[in-house]
Structure 1
Amino acid sequence: MAYESADGSELPLLVFEPAEGTPLAAGIVLFHGGALRAGSANGLVPHCRELASRGIFAVSAGYRLLGQGAVSIDDCVTDVRRAVEHFRRLAASRGLEASRLASGGSSAGAHLALVAAMTAPGTPLTAPGPGVAAVVALNPAGLDLLAFSPELQRSIEQEVRIAAGRAIEYSLIEFVRPGSPLMLIHHGTADEVEPIEHARRFRDAMVQAGNECTLLEYEHAEHGFHYPGHSGHFDDVIDATARFLLNRVATVHE
């Protein structure tokens, strides 16, 4: 399946359905990592397949990458917003209301999902974004960009191809407002891309604003710890995510 990006190109939506006859209680669309320059929707197929086996409607979506259709991170966010809207329509056709839906992803993909969920188009830092009731972030990037040195901020701006001084428009902690979506963050204490202190500070800001934000810390885990393989955390991540979606998101409005 595919959806249409802003430039008219088709981008993948990999759909994973629970077993026939399983009542649907929640749905999630996930966006892959890769620093906006690499990766594909295939990267989170194992996560979607396992979540679908728990009765969750799960979708892994692609987006244009820098140098491959996207001029800047702005284009990536635009694609994520479009993918979420397409996901919402797919979920609605299966009887799932928006109040039972989540977005999320890994690293840069988690950052894009959070930007789209916490802001409205054209109004950064001011308005909550429509679309989903919750976000599941796997080692998200960009939680507190202004905590980095000015030199590193400028390097990040150049990497994602935005003008100098625009880092604040993509620093997630700056988006925190009352009424933000429910959140579950999985983060390793040894993450070398986004320090665990940033995740803790973001969690604290969310809670202080009256929002629900759960941070699950994985001792000594580095960036990308949640994939199947030697880290041994994949099952724990899937279990906690399924519980969050089925026991928290699916029931919050009942």
Structure 2
Amino acid sequence: MKNIKIFLTLIMIVCACIANAQVSFEPDSIVTYKSTAQGDLKMTIFKPKKYKVSDDSPVIVFFFGGGWSGGSTDQFYQQARYFSDKGYLAISAEYRIFSKHKTSPFESVTDAKSAVRWIRAHASELGVNPNKLIASGGSAGGHIAACTGVIEGYDEEGEDLKISSVPNAMILFNPVLDTTEKGYGVKKVGEDRKTDISPCNHVHLGIPPTLIFHGTADKTVPFENAERFAFLMNEVGNTCELVSFEGEDHGFFNGSFFRKNSTDEVFNITMKKSFEFLNGLHL
């Protein structure tokens, strides 16, 4: 029986690899959206089939995970291509991280806000609807995506603040939602600023509708943080749906493109539920 299970798992992995080989996960274009003292930041863009600038399509921007220290845009290439195949313009965006830019989580949050604002400012050039913009990301990337909708301030100096950096909805994958000792990142944000960019500490009415995917056995970002955030969101009258994955640890959501030894079973579930959520919001 054990050998049969191993064989079936191998078959699933091979089938996933064959399927992925038939799909291009390379971006259709790359643009610079922000210049900083530490270097330019780019967006990798995935376009819908038969794309036209006049489409006025919805748009989603993904931010990779890595503890605000590492990571790369290709973590969300598979999700981006999936969304583009459904008619969205999908973007996986860079932001400043410690390993490359020697910056803190605070600069990461500022860059996420800049990314949302840049997309809206260039909506006509991109062919997207500025009022159908979704912010998404995983772990630390989920944190900065959440901050675009929750945390006030931390805007880049010189940007047009008349253009909103708040998305219309958020889809978050095991996001950091508490940067105090109850969650993740207190050493990186500092004891004296541990609640400054901690979403759980800033929940208020008017935060965009939010969907959260989180593993119950997450040893990096406690599942309790997601439960608490969802409770606080709904308590004040916001929409927040938490989808739990029993026994799953951190990073469980990655598809077979980014995590080569993974099947796409969980990936497909998260994508299906994402579209059910967005369809309910007419986004």
Q: TM-score range by the shorter chain?
A: 0.7 to 0.9
- TM-score scaled to structure 2, two decimals? 0.76
1:176–1:206 CA contact under 8 A, matched in 2? yes
| Identity percentage of aligned residues | 29
- TM-score scaled to structure 1, two decimals? 0.85
Q: 1:199 aligns with which of 215, 222, 226?
A: 226
Structure-2 separation of matches of 1:8 and 1:93: 27
Aligned length: 237
Deviation at 1:74, TM superposition (A): 1.4
Q: 1:58 aligns with which of 80, 90, 93?
A: 90
1:184–1:213 CA contact under 8 A, matched in 2? yes
Kindly indicate whether residue 112 of structure 2 is the aligned counterpart of residue 112 of structure 1: no
2:57–2:128 CA contact under 8 A, matched in 1? yes
**What does residue 227 of structure 1 align with?**
254
SS at match of 1:170: coil
2:151–2:199 CA contact under 8 A, matched in 1? no
1:188–1:219 CA contact under 8 A, matched in 2? yes
**What does residue 170 of structure 2 align with?**
135
1:27–1:91 CA contact under 8 A, matched in 2? no
Structural mapping, 1:76-115, within 5 Å: 76-115=108-147
**What does residue 157 of structure 1 align with?**
186
Gaps of 5+ in 2: 1-30, 156-163, 257-261
**What does residue 176 of structure 1 align with?**
203
**What does residue 59 of structure 2 align with?**
27
AA matched with 2:148? A
**C-alpha deviations, 1:217-240, integer Å up to 9, x for none?**
112111111111336300111111
Structure-2 separation of matches of 1:219 and 1:82: 35
Structure of higher RCO (CA pairs closer than 8 Å, 6+ residues apart)? 1
AA matched with 1:16? F
**What does residue 73 of structure 1 align with?**
105
Query: Is 82-91 or 104-113 further displaced after alignment?
Result: 82-91
Structure-2 separation of matches of 1:163 and 1:188: 26
SS at match of 1:52: helix
**What does residue 68 of structure 2 align with?**
36
Deviation at 1:24, TM superposition (A): 5.3
SS at match of 1:99: strand
Deviation at 1:75, TM superposition (A): 1.3
**What does residue 214 of structure 2 align with?**
187
Larger radius of gyration: 2
Structure-2 separation of matches of 1:137 and 1:31: 10
Kindly indicate whether residue 272 of structure 2 is the aligned counterpart of residue 239 of structure 1: yes
